[in-house]
A and B are shown apart, each in its own frame.
Chain A
Amino acid sequence: MSNLNQDVSLEQEIQAADNKNKVWKWLFISSAAFMISWILFPIYLLIVSALSSAEVVNGWPKAFVPEFDMETLQFFMNYYGVLGALKNSLIAAVFTMVISIGLGTPAGYALARFEFRGKETFRMMILLTRAFPMPLLALPLAVIFINVGLDDTLFGLSLVHAALALPFAVLITSSLFLGIPVELEEAAWVLGCNRWQAFMKVVMPLALPGLTASAVFAFVISWNEVFAAAVLTINNQTLTAFLVQSLSSSPAEVKFAGGLILIMPAILFLFVVRKYLFSMWGIANR
């Protein structure tokens, strides 16, 4: 009898726990849905407006279903120099990524693993490159670039963008390496690896998702930067330098279509590297 009673109370407890779980689950799902729509809804509106004709974009009420009017997008595709600028933007962004990862990873590793004089100062100083506004730097930079022959080249532009992206690359990678136990590396040394091999075979695979994240950062910084790109390039303008400023004084439907073209490559890039980002956040590979 007493056993039976116990069972009943146990069942009730399980029931209560279940209910509690359900509430949490719903809370979780609804907040996730909210956060997803926070990101996706504006992009959705952008797509709808980009695929609509001028009358619909300027009309009221706003449409929520695209009417697949390609006129504005087509105008862009035929617009002089858009494809070239798109290519330039991609090249500059990839250069920036390579430079900032190539320089940022060793710097981050050094900050994480070694003790040296002025380490804290270095950590602060590296943020200083972001302390000066671009319009202030662009003029002297342009003068120097013209003098050394880097003017109007994507490589030169990538150097500037890499300087902007480096603080993030260094700080992200250093905290990344801090999170990887030094014992793993030591074990690799004991088992016969030299420092470089241990880094490549043990630390690197663990750090890859984080490195991807900082690469994404570098890519996005380069992709979004307008002022330096506009001043430092003439014949090799990037897409943002080419479009963003002209867009601000263009009619609404052109703004939407241009906006779509500007965000598309960045979204595609994120899609390609999502695997590494997911594994960093502890979600299984898919």
Chain B
Amino acid sequence: MIKKIILPILLGSSIASASEVVFYSTQANPLKEADAMRNDVLINFDGEVKFLPQEAGPFFSRIEAESRAGSVTLGVLGALHGQFPQIQDSLDSIDDVLGSVPEIKSNKTMSELGKLGSQNQKYIPWMQATYIMAANKKALPYLPAGADVNALTYDELAVWAANLKEATGDAKLGFPAGEKGLMHRFLQGYLYPSFTHSVVTDFRGDDAKAMWAWFRDLWQDVNPRSTAYSLMQEPLLTEEVWVAFDHTARLKDAFDQRPDDFIAFPAPSAKAGRGFMPVIAGLAIPAGTPDRAASVELIKYLSQPEVQVKTLKATGFYPIANVELPADLPANVRIAGKAISMQANAADALPSMLPVGLGDMSGQFSKAYKDTFQQIVLRNADIDQILDRQAMVLKTIMVSANAPCWAPDKPSDGVCPVN
């Protein structure tokens, strides 16, 4: 009696029902996505589930606090591949769960990523996305002569940006280089692989030097407000920018709100190929969760092909399971989906894996690229000097994480070298 009624009133809180699974996630965080997750995706789950999206900072703190205090309330964790290493010690091993989701297990490359470099399965791949380009149809007439927007090269992109600036007086090409933007993924997964066929090993090779010089030139025709952009759908919708690069989920609103005005197309290519990078989100169970069976049920539910399609509609993230996509998809999926498949199936496609085995150094790894970009492109610093300095930083990160190379770098014996 006291515990059930008086205490909650006294403490101003309600005590959750025991059978409820708390689904804590850094994904589907935007309000409309969270709303769709609750009302469209999770609604048919056989059991009570509370979907709580959260920003990465509090997400990590909460999980770590619960694991240290030894009293866990969370049921299922949804996060990006790159976020799991930071909470790896708090995760339960879920090899048993992988066995019960054959539609996910059959995707070998991805389910292997879920081990996070350890012996055991730490997360089950949940959904995937990638980064593509988007353009306002008004920009198409300014494409350089003979260029095919679906097979663009970086040099053609530069000419296009210059044409746009000359014709409109404004720089109409934009990148998400703001505080919460994903610029580092453009550098790691797109620019570096396309120009150097490497991410780590040839960080300061001659190709990389030429690439940075080229990118600094391109920046003259890039909208200077890029350093404030986080999600490119906004400047696209306000038409501040006509051509942009971003995560598919961060372009979604532009395609949904004005499907007739925007097109999506694959990222450009350079001499080493058409570099691109997948994004993978996964589901994990914290060690010591109150009702593990219910958590497992929820993961199984979310792995079902039809639920994966619903998740796609809600979040703009694509299924991991091999599913036939239905015809009644929202505009963003129709528009982006075509570009994604063209990007992945291009003759010169050069898939770049997500960083593997960096553990909690992932954040610093991304920072090394962002810093290099800032110094060389925004601050106009000397390319050789900055690359030498940042190469040392990168080397330290690789050595202390003891991480081997991943694609597109050549496999290494032991730590991935930085030449």
On whether the two chains bind one another, the answer is yes
Query: Is the C-beta of B191 less than 8 angstroms from some C-beta in chain A?
Result: no
B180, CB-defined interface residue at 8 Å: yes
Chain A residues positioned under 8 Å from B12 (CB to CB):
88, 91-92, 95, 153-155, 158, 236
CB of B207 within 8 Å of the partner chain: no
Q: Is the CB of B61 within 8 A of A60?
A: no
B218-254 vs A: 1/0 string, CB under 8 Å? Answer: 0000000000001101100111000000000000010
Q: Within 8 Å of chain B (Cβ to Cβ): is A251?
A: yes
* A58–B349 CA distance with the chains assembled, in angstroms: 35
Contact partners of B11 in chain A: CB under 8 A:
150, 153-156
Interface size on B, residues (CB 8 A): 44
Complex contact A249–B231 (CB within 8 A): yes
A188 is an interface residue with CB less than 8 A from chain B: no
A interface secondary structure, majority: helix
Of the residues A59, A75, A154, A254, contact of B13 by C-beta under 8 Å: A154
The answer to the question of B322 belonging to the interface, with a C-beta cut-off of 8 Å to chain A, is: no
Q: A80-B35, A143-B69, A254-B31 are in contact. Are A235 and B58 (CB under 8 A)?
A: no
Question: Per-residue CB proximity of A226-247 to B under 8 Å, as 1/0?
Answer: 0100110011110001010111
- A residues less than 8 Å from B64 (CB atoms): 139
8 Å CB contact of A153 from B13, B180, B239: B13
Chain A residues with CB under 8 Å of B257's CB are 54-55, 58
Contact present for B238 and A139 (CB under 8 Å): no
Query: Given that A58-B238, A80-B38, A154-B13 are known contacts, is A146 also in contact with B22, CB under 8 Å in the complex?
Result: no
Q: Is B374 at the interface (CB under 8 A from chain A)?
A: no
Q: Is A135 an interface residue (CB 8 A)?
A: yes
A135 to B58, CA, bound (A): 8
Residues on B with beta carbons closer than 8 Å to the beta carbon of A74: none
Check A231/B58 contact, CB under 8 A, given A154-B13, A246-B29: yes
Q: Nearest A residue to B57 by beta-carbon distance?
A: A135
Instruction: Give every chain B residue within 8 A of A254 (Cβ-Cβ).
Output: 30-32
Q: How far is the CA of A241 from the CA of B24 in the complex (A)?
A: 14
In the complex the two chains form, is A249's CB within 8 Å of B180's CB? Answer: yes
Which of chain B's residues have a CB closer than 8 A to the CB of A237? Answer: 52
B239's partner among A60, A91, A138, A250 (CB-CB below 8 A) is: A60
Closest A residue by C-beta to B37: A80
Q: Which residues of B contact A185 (CB under 8 A)?
A: none
> Is A248 an interface position by the 8 A CB rule?
yes
Q: Point out which of A88, A92, A245 has the most chain B C-beta atoms below 10 A from its C-beta.
A: A245
Those of A41-76 within 8 Å (CB) of chain B:
54-55, 58-60, 75
Determine if B50 and A235 form an interchain contact, defined as CB atoms under 8 angstroms apart. yes
Cβ contact within 8 Å between A146 and B65: yes
Chain A residue with Cβ nearest B22: A234
Quick one: which of B24, B31, B57 contacts A246, CB cutoff 8 A? B31
Contact string, B55-97, partner A, CB cutoff 8 A, digits 1/0? 1011001101110110101100000000000000000000000
Q: Total interface residues on A, using CB and 8 Å?
A: 46
* Residues in A whose Cβ lies below 8 Å from that of B32: 75, 250-251, 254
Q: Which residues of A contact B234 (CB under 8 A)?
A: 58, 251-252
In the bound complex, CA of A91 to CA of B58 (Å): 22
A235 in contact with B14 (CB, 8 Å): yes
Return the contact of A230 from the options B22, B58, B71, B239 (Cβ within 8 A).
B58
Chain A positions 121 through 136: 1 when the CB is less than 8 Å from some CB of chain B, otherwise 0 = 0000000000000010
* A contact residues around B50 at 8 Å (CB): 235
**Contact A231-B231, Cβ < 8 Å, known A250-B30, A254-B32:** no
In the complex the two chains form, is A79's CB within 8 Å of B71's CB?
no
- Chain A's closest residue to B58 (CB) is A230
CB distance from A142 to the nearest CB of B (A): 3
Among A251-273, those with CB < 8 Å from B are 251-252, 254, 258
CB distance from B90 to the nearest CB of A (A): 12
Task: Report B-chain residues with C-beta under 8 Å of the C-beta of A60.
Answer: 238-239
Given A79-B31, A146-B71, A246-B30, A135:B61 Cβ within 8 A: yes
Q: A106 to B339, alpha carbons, bound, how many Å?
A: 66
- In order of increasing CB-CB distance, the 3 nearest A-B pairs are A142-B65, A230-B58, A154-B12
Can you spell out 29 A-B residue pairs with CB atoms less than 8 angstroms apart? A54-B257, A55-B257, A60-B238, A75-B35, A80-B39, A138-B65, A142-B66, A143-B65, A143-B69, A146-B66, A147-B71, A151-B69, A151-B71, A152-B13, A153-B11, A154-B13, A155-B10, A156-B11, A231-B58, A231-B61, A234-B24, A235-B13, A235-B14, A236-B14, A243-B31, A245-B58, A248-B55, A250-B32, A251-B253
Instruction: List residues of A whose CB falls within 8 A of some B CB.
Output: 54-55, 58-60, 75, 79-80, 88, 91-92, 95, 135, 138-139, 142-143, 146-147, 150-156, 158, 227, 230-231, 234-237, 241, 243, 245-252, 254, 258
Q: A75-B31, A154-B13, A245-B29 are in contact. List 11 more A-B contacts (CB 8 A).
A: A58-B238, A58-B257, A79-B31, A80-B38, A142-B65, A152-B13, A236-B14, A249-B230, A252-B234, A254-B31, A254-B32
